[in-house]
Amino acid sequence: MTPQYRYYTDKSSELSFEAAVDKMLQRVNCGVVVRITLFTTCSSNTEYIEQHSSFKRALKEQFGDMIPAWSLIAQQPLDSVYCCEVAELNDSRFKIEHKDYGVEVFNSSYREVVVGGVSGDPINDTIEKQCNDIFSKMSDILKSSATTADRIVRQWNYIENITSLEGTKQHYQLFNDARSKLYNSVVWKSGYPAATGIGSSFGGIVIDFNVIATTQTPMYRLDNSLQVAAHRYSQSVLIGEASYGFDKNSTPKFERAKLVEGSDNILLYISGTAAIRGEESLRGQDATIQTVITMENINHLISVETQREYGVDIAQEVCLQTLRVYIKNTKDYNDISKYMGAKYPNCHKLFLHCDVCREELLVEIEGLATTKTTN
């Protein structure tokens, strides 16, 4: 079996960061929260650091020794100033244990490790040095939690100025090379994690991830016949010079989706998805058309036919529970939100302003689908 989670968002347009955080935290159920991701509006890394310290203090006051996995992400919510995304355990069959590195959700036959806010120190160091620090911390967390990288099921990678260059090396490509260095140390029997590589305004690099630590829990990779698997991209779509000793640019190591199979339900993590067919961006399309194409990719990806293609034993229809919609240009928000609201009215949606991993892409969407409604 796999646990049932409840996902929701809470928003605030308070002028004071501290007042906004206090009000949002007062509305959460402290006993069952496993992850809190706070999306913030800020104007510099100095302000981000101040907000980070303030958020950490507020979490300590609210949760005491039972602080959930958490992260602060400098992506501006497009319908508020601040937005808190919360994941709560909604399943009495499972227990929660709080660790130095995050939260563990478990019962006699299942263990999941939920980790938030792994970042480089200092956050204004070079991207390469931040990557070295972050992936060293990830390795330590995996060892401490008695698991291995190949059990990572979902990873979120927030990268400040994702398409910018440090000399001849692109931030995102530096990250991909560093990730490959860690990931090449294990055999990925069930495929790479589902993942999102997305831009942020400040905060350096921040990583959140979930690990299914019990090896008897079936996990399946899902890729999309409409798109080339990201880890098979050719060099023509990878930007900048290689690093970390690679003789060519390393591909992004993620699957289009990752499916976790329980005895009575499916949990399906959908990676960051954009208007890409094959491995090429569909250029010349406006943001709304890119959104339509992106959702076509996602719907094909999570279909029963795709599940069967990748050997899922209990392939079945799933419903979208949450969608994060990352929008490059704020002027496109109204059109995109109108389309998404009309087409997908029954799932939680969060609209965020940030850079996408390719300059020509105007929108990226990720999500979670399940066989059971958790809201």
Scanning the chain, the segments in alpha helix (DSSP H) are 17-25, 45-63, 127-144, 171-183, 287-301, 304-309, 333-343
Q: pLDDT tens digits for 110-129?
A: 999 999 999 998 998 999 99
What type of residue is 290?
Answer: Q
Residues 6 or more apart whose Cβ sits within 8 Å of residue 92: none
Distance CA 135, CA 199 (A): 18
Distance CA 228, CA 281 (A): 11
Q: pLDDT tens digits for 283-335?
A: 788 999 999 999 999 999 999 999 999 999 888 999 999 999 999 999 999 99
Distance CA 264, CA 314 (A): 9
- What CATH code is assigned to 5-370? 3.30.1330.40
Q: pLDDT tens digits for 234-266?
A: 988 888 888 887 888 999 999 999 999 887 788
